C-alpha cells in the first residue's frame, strides 16, 4: 500500500508547493500592510504639516500598492495559464 501511495504522491512537489504558498501568503500580507501603513502615515504627516515625512510615506504607499497589484496579477496569470 505504501509503495502505491509513494508512486501517486510526489513528496518533493508537494513540499515545494507548500513552501511557495507560505512565502507568497506572508509576502502579499506584508506588502498590503506596508501600503496601509504608508497611507495612514501619509495622512498623519500631512495633517501635522510634515511635508518630508508625508512625501516619504506617500511614496511607500504608492510603491507598495503597485507592487501588491503586480503580485496579484502575476498570481492570476500563473493560476489561469
Domain contains 63: yes
User: Is the residue at 66 inside a domain?
Assistant: yes
Residue whose C-alpha cell reads 496579484 in the numeric block: 72
Q: Is residue 4 part of a domain?
A: no
Tell whether 20 is covered by a domain.
yes
Give the per-residue pLDDT at 71.
94
Residues 72-81 have pLDDT tens digits of 999 999 889 8
- 2: in domain: no
Contact criterion met (CB below 8 Å) for 60 and 37: yes
Please indicate, yes or no, if residue 6 is contained in any of the structural domains: no
The total domain count for the chain is: 1
Q: What is the C-alpha separation between 43 and 60, in angstroms, rounded?
A: 13
Q: What is the pLDDT of residues 10-64, one digit of tens each?
A: 788 888 889 989 999 999 999 999 999 999 999 999 999 999 999 999 999 999 9
Domain encompassing residue 51: 11-80
pTM (two decimals): 0.79
Element (H, E) at 39: helix 11-47
Instruction: Give the SS3 label for residue 1.
Output: coil
Query: Which grid coordinates are listed for 14?
Result: 508537494
User: Using 50, 70 and 90 to split pLDDT, how confident is the model at 1?
Assistant: low
Unique residue bearing C-alpha cell 513540499: 15
CA distance 77 to 3: 36
Amino acid at each position: 500500500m505504501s509503495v502505491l501511495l509513494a508512486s501517486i504522491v510526489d513528496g518533493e512537489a508537494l513540499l515545494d508547493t507548500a513552501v511557495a504558498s507560505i512565502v507568497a501568503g506572508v509576502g502579499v500580507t506584508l506588502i498590503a500592510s506596508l501600503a496601509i501603513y504608508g497611507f495612514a502615515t501619509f495622512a498623519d504627516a500631512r495633517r501635522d504639516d510634515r511635508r518630508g515625512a508625508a512625501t516619504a510615506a506617500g511614496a511607500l504607499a504608492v510603491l507598495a500598492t503597485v507592487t501588491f497589484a503586480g503580485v496579484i496579477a502575476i498570481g492570476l496569470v500563473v493560476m489561469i495559464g
